[in-house]
Amino acid sequence: MNIIHAIILGIIEGLTEFLPVSSTAHLILIGRLMGLADTDFLKTFEIIIQFGAILAVLVYYAKRFLVDWDTNKKIIVAFIPTAIIGFALYKVIKQVFFGDYTLILWALILGGIGLIIFEKMHDEERASVHEITAISYKQAFIIGCAQAIAVIPGVSRSGATIVAGMLLGIRRRVIVEFSFLLAVPTMIAASGYDLLKSHAGITSSGYGLIAAGFIAAFVAAYASIKFFLDYIKQHSFTAFGIYRIAFAGLMILLFAFL
């Protein structure tokens, strides 16, 4: 990996982290397409640069994090299931899931089909929760359980939480913002824990690559947050479902012929 690879992957991470398309799947598959060796450092890089995207959320929602302590407590409740699953399955996630391209591609395709079907059936007008403050602790915990499924690359953390929230009667805009906020403790924990476990094997040049990816992810993620919030005012998630299937199909073709 060189600095160009790091910046490209950082931009991809930032652009896709908060969209229901699975940023991890994009990083893994595009990294393979670029010919990057499937090393422990690459897997660590893919996890740690997610904190760059999370920093964008902290900046964008700084006032809410400092003032709205009730929502912060609900975010912690929602984070608990992922923390338990992520800690228990850490080795499986990093050593097995991250290298199983078939699993990732199927997760993208099935998730895309699921999004399309869900949007065909969903009635936004029936949603009863119109503000983040109205989300209950029970709903927060259920959303957190849905997020835990996204330890499988290709599922999409944001996709799982958004669909779960909408099934619980939370309006699209509200659950999208809650998903943004929930990403903060989730990604801080994932990045921090992986760095703790892997730091001994990272060289000084490796930290330089991580820094480049981190900065690129932050800039791209900040732009992505603003785009997504504007997009959902007038659109459903059907286009993302179609995109997931198309992207997986393209990756299959490229891997077959390159």
Output the pLDDT for position 174: 93
Q: Are 104 and 28 in contact (CB under 8 A)?
A: yes
Phi, psi of 170 (to 5 degrees): -95, 135
Give me the pLDDT at residue 79, please: 94
Q: At what angle do helices 40-48 and 172-198 cross, to 10 degrees?
A: 140
Domain boundaries, the chain: 3-257
Predicted model pTM: 0.89
Tokens, residue 93: 């996630």
Give the contacts of 145 (CB within 8 A, at least 6 positions apart): 81, 164
**Residue 129 backbone phi and psi in degrees, to 5:** -100, 110
| Token representation of residue 111 | 């998730």
- Residue 89's pLDDT is 85
What's the confidence (pLDDT) of residue 193? 82
Do 78 and 140 contact (CB within 8 A), yes or no? yes
In which residue ranges of the chain is pLDDT below 70?
none
Q: What local confidence, expressed as pLDDT, does residue 66 receive?
A: 80
The secondary structure of 94-114 as a DSSP string is: HHTGGG-HHHHHHHHHHHHHH
Q: Tokens 């939370």 label which residue?
A: 170
H-state helical runs in 122-201: 137-148, 157-167, 172-198
pLDDT at 10: 95
Distance CA 102, CA 90 (A): 20
